[in-house]
Structure 1
Amino acid sequence: MSTSAPLDAQRLLQDYPALNALPASTLQPMLNSGRWLQVPAGTVLFDERQPCEGFPLVLSGRVRVVKLAANGRELPLYRVTPGETCILSTSCLLAGEPYQARGVTECDCELMLLPVALFEPLLAEPVFRRFVFHLFAERLTELMTLIEAVAFHRLDARLAGCLLGKGPVLQLTHQQLADELGSVREMVSRLLKGFAGQGLVQLGREQIRILDAAGLRQIANR
């Protein structure tokens, strides 16, 4: 992880337009005091039981937030892309509690980290407060949808839906699919072989090609 001079304040304001409504006396200190970071792919930005160091605003790239099980399995919770915020960072800052999940960069990222000492007075600004809590509510809805899917939807239906959402040719491993679904590789591999036997997909080395999207859609809608 490296620190640079402000990468592009204009880009930050384009991705997070609500910040434009902040008074100049608030916005300029925020831009001057934020930590502007360039982070390579695969970097752990935060981990379980670590204190929150600030409020991240993503300029480019993608951060994956996962919950770790004792056996090493991961349950993906959500991703943070430019224009979005991390609900976990928000809750940790508001409650003064450590992180309860892990955040990892999926690709090279640029971000600005608002220090804790700056985040708290910013919340006194109605514009910034509405911005934070609006995105917090959106993320909470997404997490409720995830809980519903894991608890009530069959794994084969979730797998079929996942495949359809990624395009006709997927370049990824069975383990990566399992991680995304919060399952184990053996179960996902078994289901994929079943899909292949039905002529729905063609399996290759770290590649899955969809042959029958309509058939997968029937499974996904069960």
Structure 2
Amino acid sequence: MSDGLSSACDPSARSWAEGLSRRYPILDRLSPVLVREFCRRARTVDIPAGAVAFDEDSPCTSLTFPFRGAIRVGRLAHTSREILLYRVRPGEICILTVSCLLGRTTYSARGLVEKDLAGIAIPADLFERLVAECGAFRAYIFELLGSRVTALMQLVEEVAFHRLDQRLAAILLRRFVETGATQLAVTHQDLADQVGSARETVSRVLESLENDGGITLARGRVALRSAAALRDVAGALASRERKMP
């Protein structure tokens, strides 16, 4: 095991190396040889919000470790509507990228930068070497793959077997829990993109949730009125969310 990225990298790279180690402690378990190679070949990545990080059918040549910002990964339908698959935030890596690198295939979805992205990227061949030569890193990657596949299976179940009002109620519950807030800065279009539906349809469902007493709508915002009312609508999907007051 190495002494860590920050001690192995050149002084000019230590600022990002320290931050990267805090968010990705698995990197400190690389061997000294792999750490030196990581420091030598890593490059900084800065992508502004609204830019496309990767697109469907584009080649996959590197893996990014973000330490600021967020990427939304979604699949476009022939109607140009997009369904959100997952988000990549600091401390996480894009499992679609991992899958493409391991399978040496092109991307099957699009990654859109939601918030200005800053991170460190390593080339495909170095990623393959980390997986091959470091058992801890390999286990970390496989664990991430497993958890993401489980989450995507849940998404397929929600889309196939649950009504739109149930899905929206569950999504709002999840957002309120994750943020710890009683008011969300989110538009009807944001939610429509997440569920892969038309904005007009989502607006009607949100108005129904408001009439049921679960939320209050304002321009660009959704406020929580009653978590219990949202859980009643979400039904079985609500059991996947943590308890709320």
TM-score, normalization by structure 1: 0.92
Cα deviation for residue 111 of structure 1 reads: 1.2
| 8 Å CA contact 1:5, 1:36 repeated in 2 | no
Cα deviation for residue 197 of structure 1 reads: 2.7
| Counterpart for residue 210 of structure 2 | 196
| Counterpart for residue 180 of structure 1 | 194
- The count of residues paired between Structure 1 and Structure 2 equals 219
Instruction: Say if 2:123 is the partner of 1:115.
Output: yes
Cα deviation for residue 54 of structure 1 reads: 0.6
Residue aligned with 2:115, SS: coil
Which consecutive unaligned segments of at least 5 residues does structure 1 have?
A: none
Cα deviation for residue 212 of structure 1 reads: 2.5
Cα deviation for residue 216 of structure 1 reads: 1.4
Task: Within 5 Å, give how 1:28-43 maps onto structure 2.
Answer: 28-43=36-51
**One-letter amino acid matched to 1:17:** P
Cα deviation for residue 6 of structure 1 reads: 6.6
Give aligned-pair identity as a percent: 44
Question: Which residue, out of 19, 28, 33, partners 1:11?
Answer: 19
Which consecutive unaligned segments of at least 5 residues does structure 2 have?
A: 1-11, 177-181, 237-245
RCO higher in structure (CA 8 A, sep ≥6) = 1
**One-letter amino acid matched to 1:116:** A
Aligned pair in 2 of structure 1 residues 108, 197: CA closer, same or farther (>3 Å)?
A: same
| 8 Å CA contact 2:29, 2:136 repeated in 1 | yes
RMSD of Structure 2 on Structure 1 (CA): 1.7
Q: Give runs of ≥4 in structure 1 deviating > 4 Å.
A: 4-7
Instruction: Say if 2:159 is the partner of 1:155.
Output: no
207-216 or 104-113, which moves further after superposition?
207-216
**One-letter amino acid matched to 2:119:** L
TM-score, normalization by structure 2: 0.83
| Counterpart for residue 231 of structure 2 | 217
| Counterpart for residue 109 of structure 2 | 101
| Counterpart for residue 71 of structure 2 | 63
Deviation per CA, 1:36-80: give whole Å up to 9, x if none. 112221121100010002111111221110011111111111111
| Counterpart for residue 54 of structure 2 | 46
| 8 Å CA contact 2:65, 2:119 repeated in 1 | yes
| Counterpart for residue 4 of structure 2 | none
Deviation per CA, 1:105-145: give whole Å up to 9, x if none. 11112111110121222222122222221211111111111
| 8 Å CA contact 1:12, 1:59 repeated in 2 | yes
